[in-house]
């Protein structure tokens, strides 16, 4: 199957690697299962983080590579939270993001973007340091929000995924750019389905 997909992409003038193909498949499964509130999505998230750490190292997107370690850890955390993070250690329900967190998220986003971008730009051969860092900071926030089942995590992902499509296309990661286009559609689906579930739980 990997050979067939690779040949198909080559005929379309696109280049890829087996690692990127596996990352595409596991990433799509992960996010789809997350839209369904299926805890197995976190298992595929763990596998996907390992695969993409290698992919991003190869193209010098070091902020994104470091992000995969965070995804690995938060996938374990999210798995536990979804199963036992609710009241009386029951399944965690979907809830709105507390308003008190918005200021904290904004400050973290700005600080992480500027600091990480500066460090990567000055001390490494990283590509697109500040853009990479900004999207990484947004992803850090979105992933934690997802682990806590805050509805608005999907809005963060909508913006981040749209930007990632352009970034990865520019870096020649065409299959990954396509994956993030899929993520974009899934983020919209996730928001609609999670909001429906949240309103249903309140009845």
Q: What's the pLDDT tens digit per position in 50-83?
A: 998 998 888 887 877 888 999 999 999 999 999 9
- Within 10 angstroms of residue 199's Cβ, the number of other Cβ atoms is 10
Instruction: Give a yes or no: residue 108 inside a domain.
Output: yes
Token digits of residue 27: 């990433």
Give domain status of residue 10, yes or no: no
pLDDT reading at 5 higher than 50: no
The first and second tokens of residue 203, run together, are: 């009845």
The pLDDT value recorded for residue 15 is 55
* Vertex 68 angle, CA 64 and 74, to 5°: 130
Q: DSSP 3-state assignment of 178? A: helix
In a domain, 176, yes or no: yes
- Is 174 part of a structural domain of the chain? yes
* pLDDT over 70 percentage in the chain: 92
User: Residue 54 domain-assigned?
Assistant: yes
Range of the domain at 143: 16-88+99-202
Domain count, the chain: 1
Specify the pLDDT at position 179. 83
Looking at the predicted structure, is the pLDDT value of residue 124 above 90? no
- 122: exposed, middle or buried (Cβ count in 10 Å: 0-12, 13-18, 19+): exposed
- Candidates 12, 19, 11; CA nearest to 55 is 19
Residue 170 maps to a domain: yes
Establish if 11 belongs to a structural domain.
Answer: no
Instruction: Kindly tell me if the per-residue pLDDT of 34 is higher than 90.
Output: yes
65 occurs within a structural domain: yes
In this model, does residue 176 exceed pLDDT 50?
yes
Lowest average pLDDT, out of 1-15, 93-107, 154-168, goes to 1-15
Please tell me the pTM assigned to this model: 0.84
């Amino acid at each position: 199957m990997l050979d067939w997909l690779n040949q198909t992409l080559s005929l379309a003038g696109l280049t890829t690697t087996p690692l990127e193909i596996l990352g595409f498949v596991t990433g799509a499964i992960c996010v789809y299962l997350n839209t369904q509130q299926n805890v197995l999505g976190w298992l595929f998230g763990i596998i996907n983080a390992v695969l993409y750490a290698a992919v991003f190292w190869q193209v010098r997107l070091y902020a994104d590579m470091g992000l995969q370690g965070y995804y690995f850890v938060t996938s374990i955390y999210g798995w536990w939270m979804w199963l036992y993070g609710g009241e009386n250690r029951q399944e965690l329900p979907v809830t709105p993001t507390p308003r008190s967190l918005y200021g904290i998220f904004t400050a973290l986003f700005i600080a992480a973007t500027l600091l990480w971008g500066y460090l990567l730009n000055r001390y490494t051969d990283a590509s697109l340091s500040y853009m990479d860092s900004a999207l990484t900071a947004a992803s850090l926030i979105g992933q934690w929000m997802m682990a806590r089942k805050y509805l608005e995590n999907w809005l963060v992902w909508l913006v981040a995924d749209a930007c990632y499509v352009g970034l990865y296309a520019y870096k020649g990661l065409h299959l990954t750019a396509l994956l993030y286009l899929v993520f974009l559609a899934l983020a919209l689906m996730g928001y609609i389905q999670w909001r429906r579930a949240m309103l249903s739980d309140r009845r």
